[in-house]
Amino acid sequence: QVDVVESGGGSVQAGGSLRLSCVASGDIPECMGWFRQVPGKEREGVAAICSGRPIDSNVARGRFTVSQDNAKKTLYLEMNNLKPQDTSMYYCAASQVQWAFLRADLYNVWGRGTQVTVSS
């Protein structure tokens, strides 16, 4: 019903910025979110928009901004003041559950990921 494709990753120095984009096709999801995962660690919620309302994680708060276009088909993650600990594979996900928020287990559709690398 829905497919998501993310892009915008890259390599930056600490303090730099990146903007990730996620394009959804098919049905409009109730939630679209950004998650990140490094090898050996559990998938971590970064930020999401559910029913038009943004939800920030502690990681995102103050540095990252999640937004959505008017058609609710594209999700963005503006990342500022990046730190080496932000280095990860970032995934876009979609859910039909309105209260999915930052719970990875409630998202059913996942992109293939885009790599973000932050050097000191």
| pLDDT > 80? residue 1 | no
Q: What angle do CA 27, 29, 34 make, to 5 degrees?
A: 130
d(CA 21, CA 66): 10
Q: pLDDT (tens digit, 9 = 90+) per residue, 33-79?
A: 999 999 999 999 999 999 999 999 999 989 999 999 988 889 999 99
Mean pLDDT over 16-26 rounds to 96
d(CA 15, CA 71): 32
Mean pLDDT over 29-36 rounds to 96
Share of the chain above pLDDT 90, in %: 92
Signed CA dihedral, 29, 96, 113, 118: sign only: positive
